[in-house]
Structure 1
Amino acid sequence: MRAYGEVLATPGVARIMAAQLMARFPQGMYSLGLLLHVERTFDSYAAAGLVLAALSIGQGAAGPLTTRWMGRWGTRPVLALTLVVAAASLLAIALVPMGLAAMTAVGAVAGLAMPPITPAVRTLYPTMVTQRMLSRLFSLDATLQEIIWVVGPVAITFVSTQIGTVEGLVSAAVVQVLGGVWFILSPEVGRMRIPPSGKRIGGVLKKVPVVLVVVTGMLLIGGFAASEAAVVSVFGHEGFEAGMVIAANAFGSLVGGLALGGVIIRRRSLAIRIAVCALGFGLACLILDFWWLALMFFLAGIGIAPALSAMSSIVAATVRFSDTPEAYGWIGSGQLIGAAVGSAAAGILIDWQGPIGGFAVAFVLASAAAIVAWVLRHRQPDLTQGIGEPPETAPIELAR
């Protein structure tokens, strides 16, 4: 914990971390909030799925593009514009009566305009701390983001079911605006200058480590999406046990991130951390009991924050500063695709084989991610001495 204290003591880090967490918090609210609101509006889960799909497709398509805009037009203008459009679109879905086609189109606009907070902050981190502390900062960020996925769904469910779905979406939009404004107005964001990328869009994918992180992230998040569908199929949509099991997974990620934040990242580390996730999903197939599933999801969670931290470190050590926003944008798009594919495949297998089919999909996808990371371990940068040369605007630690 002393290592994290040193990171948080760096001027501006604690404030930026709190601001970006608040700005990203609605990520844990919008999907469930839209599901409840659209289903209640049209009395159809198919309609809700269509709007959610439009939101996800929009986010996936816009990720690499909006991140490049930050280098061309500046971080603050891009974040401000996307924040206004995304919040206005989601408020329109909540407050303006419209048909399904119109709501789907507005959902797509909201996805396309979702502010690229995560790529922005992960590009900003290397400018705030020395390279020696950067891996720890990425680990802390990946660990604390679990708060989004534990508290967010609970909060939106409570507001939507106890007060109303309109109020649920409005509350999520208000949180997004407040957090987004706080992050955008932070001095560190104002001082960050991202040089325009000299590559065509997608050029960053010519680097093997970036492709490795995009593919492993897609498979890993797909595995988690499949596992969540399997858990819901075990306990039903009304059972609180499903939420508790998923929360155990997030708690495991929190513990794993804090425990491994100061551990040296070696070339085999990513594969081992993902393999822990796969092991948890594989063992979950054995007994469909609440306590067993909670324990196995806790085990699977231990690997998730450390794996995501390792992915961020690989990108920071591989990609030029001007190209890091786009790289993180591709990672986010890959994870969105993985979540969609994992959920769909799990649904098919659950209908065919029951919950075990869903857990099998989760195990196969996570195992595939671990195998890819292991096979390509020698193409990863050497991080045993920390992340390599600092980007152009990073502080440099002077020898005494």
Structure 2
Amino acid sequence: MSHSTGLADYRAALTSPGARVPVLAALFARLPIAMIGLALLLYVQRTTGSFAIAGLVSAAELIGVAVGSVAQGRIMDRVGPSRPLLVTTTLFTGAVALGVVVVEQRAATPLLMAVGFAIGAFEPMVGSASRAMWTRLVPSGPVRSAALAYEAISMEVFFILGPALSGVLVAAPWAGTGVVAGAVCMVLGAYWFALTPTIRRFRPEPATPSGLLGVLRSRGMRTVALAAMGFGVTIGFVEVAVPAAATEAGNPPAGGLLLGLWSVSSVAFGVYYGVRPWPRPMGLRLPVLLGGFSVLLALLALPGSLVGLAIALLVAGCLVTPQCTAHSAAIELVTPSSSATEAFGWVVTAVTLGLAAGQSLSGQLVELVGVEASYLAASVVGLLFTGVLYLRRGTVSAADRQQDFAPVA
């Protein structure tokens, strides 16, 4: 069931008892989420002089995030979020310190990749724990919908600020400044979040038997994961093609600015959409949002100038945050509350894998055909995912969840 959300509901969610301190701590922990990977890539490239090595290390870190998000989510659902976050944050601190050592020593590429994987795997998943927190703090309804919308909107803000901060800090005298600054912010925020009374009080709910697949046992959760992956793939195409278009136009720095514009419209429209989500049935909302986004991406192939591309990005960006909000809201329908953190982890994994696939394919298309082909491919791939989501629309329901997680006699 969908709920209408008003601006007062955002205020009610953020000021609900026990929410203020964890929300503030999570801001510090999540701010560098889009900063660590890029800062690591730039650090390795500046130190080794090789984009190829930097790309491999960055890919390893991305794979680590994909693996770690699910593993951490499942553990937090079993024992509560506080202890796992304290352990992973400590391991993350050690991994970053080791990363600085091996990069400065210009170690062999396999070792650099292994440490990059560890940095990603141990990155504390405060975002998943924060989103799952709302299922405990506020009842189902407009206020919880507003809380989940806030999570998606704030994440978009971090994805605007993170790369910008990385770009500024990479120009510091020491190339590793961005990695260390981002890690310090994340570590302090994660420790603070994990030690807040609200988070320490959380106790795991009775686990729903789900086997090796965990929440992916749910057909509805598999549908949500497909929606998240389709979203990630399309975003990945654009994140490579837009900087390439700026470079072709002779203005490479404009690439980051253009992507920032699309994030700005995403946040602005996301607030409005959170107040009036549409369509109401969640099973239809997922394909409609991804399908509309995919159609708008085709517009990016039309402009012949960076100004035209900026306008097209502003339009297409309107449907970015609504999809993130829909993914979070859909989890409530398709998984039991005892597995909420793991479910959010699977969404992170699906988006991450989609981003990696989209970026890889887009890079090939840009070099072989051109940036316009990459935009069109993003649109086509997104529409293919939309078709699959439409066929599976009936699985995104509470009734389907009860069937999937019913005890086996």
Aligned length: 384
Equivalent residue letter for 1:229: V
2:307 maps to which of 291, 299, 316:
291
1:366 maps to which of 370, 376, 382:
382
Residue 95 of structure 1 deviates from its aligned partner by 4.2
Residue 382 of structure 1 deviates from its aligned partner by 7.1
Q: Structure 1: state its 5+ residue gaps.
A: 389-400
Q: Is the 8 A contact 1:223 1:364 kept in 2?
A: no
2:122 maps to which of 93, 101, 113:
113
Confirm or deny that 1:310 pairs with 2:319.
no
Confirm or deny that 1:9 pairs with 2:15.
yes
Mapped partners of 2:227, 2:238: distance in 1: 16
Equivalent residue letter for 2:209: G
Determine helix, strand or coil for the equivalent of 2:356. helix
Confirm or deny that 1:228 pairs with 2:239.
yes
The 3 A distance-change label for structure 1 pair 115 and 201 is: farther
Identity over aligned residues, as a percent?
Answer: 25
The superposition leaves residues 24-51 of structure 1 with CA deviations (integer Å, 9 ceiling, x where unpaired) of 2221111211111111121111100111
Residue 289 of structure 1 deviates from its aligned partner by 1.8
Q: Tell me how large the CA RMSD over aligned residues is.
A: 2.0
The 3 A distance-change label for structure 1 pair 130 and 207 is: same
Question: Which residue pairs with 1:244 in the alignment?
Answer: 257
Determine helix, strand or coil for the equivalent of 2:43. helix
Determine helix, strand or coil for the equivalent of 1:131. coil
Determine helix, strand or coil for the equivalent of 2:242. helix
* Alignment map for 1:71-90 (pairs within 5 Å): 71-90=77-96
* Alignment map for 1:203-214 (pairs within 5 Å): 203-214=214-225
* Greater shift in the superposed pair: 259-268 or 177-186: 259-268
Equivalent residue letter for 1:203: G
Determine helix, strand or coil for the equivalent of 2:320. helix
Mapped partners of 2:244, 2:87: distance in 1: 40
Confirm or deny that 1:160 pairs with 2:170.
yes
Q: Is the 8 A contact 1:234 1:288 kept in 2?
A: no
* Greater shift in the superposed pair: 127-136 or 94-103: 94-103
Confirm or deny that 1:151 pairs with 2:164.
no
Mapped partners of 1:262, 1:177: distance in 2: 33
Mapped partners of 2:265, 2:295: distance in 1: 14
Q: Is the 8 A contact 1:345 1:361 kept in 2?
A: no
The 3 A distance-change label for structure 1 pair 356 and 136 is: same
Confirm or deny that 1:357 pairs with 2:366.
no
Residue 68 of structure 1 deviates from its aligned partner by 1.4
Mapped partners of 1:341, 1:246: distance in 2: 19
Question: Which residue pairs with 1:260 in the alignment?
Answer: 273
Question: Which residue pairs with 2:131 in the alignment?
Answer: 122
Provide TM-score, normalisation by structure 2. 0.89
Mapped partners of 2:349, 2:370: distance in 1: 29
Residue 353 of structure 1 deviates from its aligned partner by 1.0
Mapped partners of 2:263, 2:101: distance in 1: 32
Residue 131 of structure 1 deviates from its aligned partner by 1.0
Question: Which residue pairs with 2:73 in the alignment?
Answer: 67
Mapped partners of 1:50, 1:370: distance in 2: 31
The superposition leaves residues 1-45 of structure 1 with CA deviations (integer Å, 9 ceiling, x where unpaired) of 333222223123343333223212221111211111111121111
Q: Is the 8 A contact 2:288 2:386 kept in 1?
A: yes
Mapped partners of 1:214, 1:253: distance in 2: 21
Confirm or deny that 1:201 pairs with 2:223.
no
Provide TM-score, normalisation by structure 1. 0.90
* Greater shift in the superposed pair: 42-51 or 4-13: 4-13
* Greater shift in the superposed pair: 285-294 or 125-134: 285-294
